[in-house]
Structure 1
Amino acid sequence: MTKNTYKKGEIQQLVSLAQNGDIKALEELIRKVQKEIYAIFSHLCERKEDVSDLTQEALTKMAKSLSQLKDTKKFKSWLNQIITNLFYDYTRQKQDKFIDIDEDKLHQIKDKLGCEPGEKCLFTEIEKLIKAALLSLPKDLRVTIVLREFEGLSYEDIAKITNTALGTVKSRIARARIKLQQELKDFI
């Protein structure tokens, strides 16, 4: 996931307790991973409503199928698999290109940086360009590059999560990087 806000063994312990019926542990587990799931979906699709819906659906699927997870050490990969599958299902249903820029999110970033009204905030412009370039990628390239660059997963983990051959994962990441460089060539 994105930056962990918890200790290494803490999630494993919460998963184990939740699997044994501890509702408080399940609630704590959900609280700990919710922001990270949201962050992943915000990189994969643009509409804030879709990101929220997919996050809730991922949390629901996680809670319902947690008992099926055999090895608590593999929770992160298992959860990323749920997220990836939901995203693929969603894009098949919507046939959406996800190219609209979420202006609210960009304004929040600009506000955090202290850009004055009327002052052009360079970071906001860069954010828009990167987001648009990322969202212009085909979904298979977008998923692999997000899992690699934003989630820091290994090629092997991405191959397992996406149920794709290792060579294909490497190729997709390379193609995604090339396409992103081409999209952003005037700015990097």
Structure 2
Amino acid sequence: MSYSFSTPWSSARSALSALRHDAPTQLSNYDLIQRCQQQHRPDKAAFAELVKRYQSYVEKLLYHLAPDWSDRADLTQEVWIRVYRNLHKLQTIERFKSWLGRITTNLFYDELRKRKRHQSPLSLDAPRQLSDGEMDWEVASDAPNPVDVMMTQEFYAELEQAIAELPEVFRTTIVLREIQGLSYEEIADITNTSLGTVKSRIARARQRLQQDLNLYLKTESLT
């Protein structure tokens, strides 16, 4: 009688072998990233699938940061070039999306420094509420009535106008904090400013937006 034993090492090798032979489209996000990390430069098929899954995330973030830049497609391509070259350095696969967002944000800020000119690098979905200085950036109901649609559009226009009047450093900081969800420390690192300056800019931007929007809401309540 013969016996077959499966050691942890042989099981791991079997799992790795299966991972190598599965089509990229059949892999989970975790396994897909893991496959891309198996070599110093990612497997082309696996990387193409990775781009397909996260392309909309990069495009949306760059749109929020720089809606009027005509070269956003070029920036998106540069983001993926940086990902391709550095993915093997990512140590925690679960943090890939935040790592990707950090690369995108850093690229945007690098370009912003180079251009050194005033522009409005921000477009945000209309917030549902504004309280205690914190903003909820969730999109409104999926099925609003016509009155809600009109009010949302008007509020969105007022929000864009209020944001456009913010100094550039405030607009950029708001994007990094409210949309990208970066910590104060990360924003300070990206913008090469002190932690106190970051907190001050965010507080002042929120205060000014709240004042402008509250004025608009009070005016609307009188009509």
Scaled by the length of structure 2, the TM-score of the pair is 0.59
What displacement does 1:87 show? 1.4
1:42-100 CA distance string (max 9 Å, x none): 12112152333322222222222222323323323322221222112212222343349
Describe the shift of the 1:31–1:73 C-alpha distance in structure 2 as closer, same or farther (beyond 3 A): same
SS in 1 for 2:104: helix
> What is the alpha-carbon distance in structure 2 between the residues aligned to residue 65 and residue 126 of structure 1?
41
Q: Which amino acid aligns with 1:26?
A: F
Q: Which amino acid aligns with 1:13?
A: D
SS in 2 for 1:49: coil
Scaled by the length of structure 1, the TM-score of the pair is 0.68
**Alignment partner, residue 180 of structure 1:** 209
SS in 2 for 1:141: helix
**Alignment partner, residue 19 of structure 1:** 37
Q: Which amino acid aligns with 1:86?
A: L
2:162 corresponds, among 119, 125, 133, to 133
Aligned residue pairs, count = 170
**Alignment partner, residue 64 of structure 1:** 85
Identity of aligned residues (%): 41
Q: Give the helix-richer structure, 1 or 2.
A: 1
Describe the shift of the 1:101–1:17 C-alpha distance in structure 2 as closer, same or farther (beyond 3 A): closer
Gapped runs of 5+ residues in structure 2?
A: 1-26, 124-142, 218-223
Say if 2:114 is the partner of 1:93. Answer: yes
> What is the alpha-carbon distance in structure 2 between the residues aligned to residue 160 and residue 76 of structure 1?
19
Q: Which amino acid aligns with 2:37?
A: Q
**Alignment partner, residue 146 of structure 1:** 175
State which structure, 1 or 2, has the greater radius of gyration over its C-alpha atoms.
2
Higher relative contact order (CA 8 A, sep 6+): 1
Q: Which amino acid aligns with 1:73?
A: E
**Alignment partner, residue 53 of structure 2:** 32
Gapped runs of 5+ residues in structure 1?
A: 1-8, 103-111
